[in-house]
Amino acid sequence: MCGIVGIWDYRNRISREILEKMRNKLAHRGSDDAGIFIDEKTNIGLGHQRLSIIDLSPLGHQPMANDDKSLWIVLNGEIYNFKEIRKELENKGYRFKSNSDTEIILKSYQEWGKEAVNKFRGMFSFAILDKKKEKLILCRDRAGVKPLYYYFDGNLFIFASEIKAIISHPKVKKEINFDALALFLEFGYIPEPHSIFKNIYKLEPGHFLEIDKNKKIKKEKYWDVIDFYLKGFEEKNNGKDFKETEVEEELERILIDSFKLRLVSDVPVGIFLSGGIDSTLVTALLAKNTDYLLKTFTIGFQEKEYNEAIYAKKIAQYFGTEHYEMFCTQKDALDIIPKLSEIYDEPFGDSSAIPTYLLSKFVRNQVKVSLSADAGDEIFCGYNHYQQINNIFQKINRIPSSALFLGKKSIQLLSPGLLASIIKPITKYSNLQNKIRKIERVLDKKDNLKEVFTTIDSYWLKDEIVSLLLNDFSFPKTFFDEFERVKNLDPITQMQAIDYKTYLCSDILTKVDRATMAAGLEGREPFLDQNIIEYTAKLPLKFKYQNGYNKYILRKVLDKYLPKELFEKPKRGFVVPMNVWFRDKLKPLLKEYLNPKKIKQEEIFNSNLIEKELNDFFSNKSVDITRLWLVLTFEMWKEKWV
């Protein structure tokens, strides 16, 4: 795992000093080696920080060139099937100087051009300087495991693994993108291709970006998860039959192959084990189908109602792994929260980044690579909200328009706050006021699944953001707009496909990449092998959700490996006790950064709304911290970078 950076300056000579400074901003992503290459003719510079995982020798040094020095590459990531591709290239007469996967990409491009990407199984962001074609070619993996940002102002093009490298260039202006801030307040993350800075963008997963000597930029998509969901829909309409036993056997084979491939390494590999179905399955399949001595790692919380470490420990004992566990405390959170702006470069609202970073530091003391089990929920319908939103969507579309009108008017007349105070004594649900606000908006959009989905999944609603932000902004296009492409699929499958391109990439994978890399640890995602999603996306929904059970077919596979009582439990997700902490030791952070006087002076947020939200949180234990947490993370980010 590594950090990459590059500059194409169309007006000025590349400064080695500036390029080294930018590269050094990525030193945490790879402290084993560092390199610089500057091509005086094209005025392009490439930089690389290396975390040595495959071929630990100096022969894996980057930037790396082909034999005649016409191609240069910098790579962040791993190509797990590189040995298989190497044999194919050797049969074509290619000879190799190293045992690295980087050289495989370089010579694959030399042989097949951009089509070579279709052979790669892995996680990667890379840039190739093609001196003969006078082009710079960027590429990002299918799911977006590895990040790739770029900046262009018409004369200066920069790319990097993280924003901090780009904004360290003296000619890059740090201007807040308020469109992106609006998205952040809505979802808790900033979806591709947007970033918090103007003129800085994320290259979308499954895409190439080319820029040439004439400053012409072209983006090209080479892979899209939606294509496989649509293909499954087409096969179903054509009468294709799926037998459960055959699906179970084929899926198990694909999973074992994909999981074992993630063990390819010249250094020890561990596993993040939460005790949930996905991480348990990774552990189970590798424990039973390899001779690898597994090390498993778990993080828990001192607050018993949030702690799931006990489940992971039982799984580890059953499979006989070398198991390690640690606990995240309020003090840990207090120490880590100020570091999040440095780690993520953008406002980032997923509070599980706190224990993820703490666990990554803990794991790095034992191993250099660790597997996680992210994407199981998106691929196999694991999130409870898929069923919940589908139920809401189906029910409101059966209610007569006149009744919906009366329901909405009742909410408006009573106000969400008053209605919540009436309902609260007879319900167990928390954060009622915000839920009632969402119900009111959903009633307006009852036949639009995109609007229902994004409204229920949002933190600040669109009209609230309009009142909250004082600067001009708009809500830009994102992959959420692709609900239109999948509108013929059933609602749950639509949500899965869109989540894969939004929440999974921009939240979950961002969280894990930055947290692990900040600790000098390589995180690998076994469920994100394309063979898994390309097969599973085409399966009918009944294999993912059946008889009230999500991850139906995964449970069938897992049932072969361990007793049901060890994995059959209600799904909680990785829940961090933020509501408890911010009413206790973390309370001073809110008082410092969200002080109404300070907020008013900045002229970014409506200070009256922030003050009301603070008062609601401290006076009512059913009010959730997340909306305030998003504003807090932005304020701490702004203090660090702007």
The catalytic residues are: 2
Please state, as a whole number, how many other Cβ atoms lie within 10 Å of the Cβ of residue 493: 22
From the list 375, 170, 159, the residue with the least C-alpha distance to 255 is 375
- Which H or E run includes 149? strand 149-152
- Look up residue 176 and give its DSSP letter: B
Contact 448, 154 (CB under 8 A): no
Cα dihedral 190→194→199→205 (10° resolution): 120
Tokens (6 digits) for 451 = 């609007």
According to the 3-state scheme, what is the secondary structure of 94-142?
Answer: CCCCCCCHHHHHHHHHHHHHHHHHHHCCEEEEEEEEECCCCEEEEEECC
User: DSSP string of 411-430?
Assistant: HHHH-HHHHHHHHGGG---S
Please give the Cα distance from 446 to 459 (Å, whole number).
19
Coil, helix or strand at residue 150: strand
Contact 268, 294 (CB under 8 A): no
Q: Is 551 left (phi over 0), alpha (psi -120 to 50) or beta?
A: left
Contact 340, 593 (CB under 8 A): no
CB-neighbour burial class of residue 472 (10 A; exposed 0-12, middle 13-18, buried 19+): exposed
From the list 217, 294, 239, the residue with the least C-alpha distance to 263 is 294
Rg (alpha carbons) of the chain, rounded to whole number:
25
Please give the Cα distance from 40 to 543 (Å, whole number).
56
Coil, helix or strand at residue 335: helix
Distances (CA, A) of 165 to 7, 78, 347: 11, 21, 16
Please give the Cα distance from 577 to 612 (Å, whole number).
22
Please give the Cα distance from 56 to 32 (Å, whole number).
9
From the list 185, 189, 180, the residue with the least C-alpha distance to 461 is 185
Please give the Cα distance from 562 to 570 (Å, whole number).
17
Cα dihedral 455→460→463→465 (10° resolution): -140
Q: Tell me the sheet residues that pair with 140.
A: 125
From the list 4, 149, 159, 151, the residue with the least C-alpha distance to 75 is 4
Contacts of 365 (CB under 8 A, 6+ apart): none
Please give the Cα distance from 369 to 522 (Å, whole number).
5
Tokens (6 digits) for 46 = 């490439």
Contact 89, 116 (CB under 8 A): no
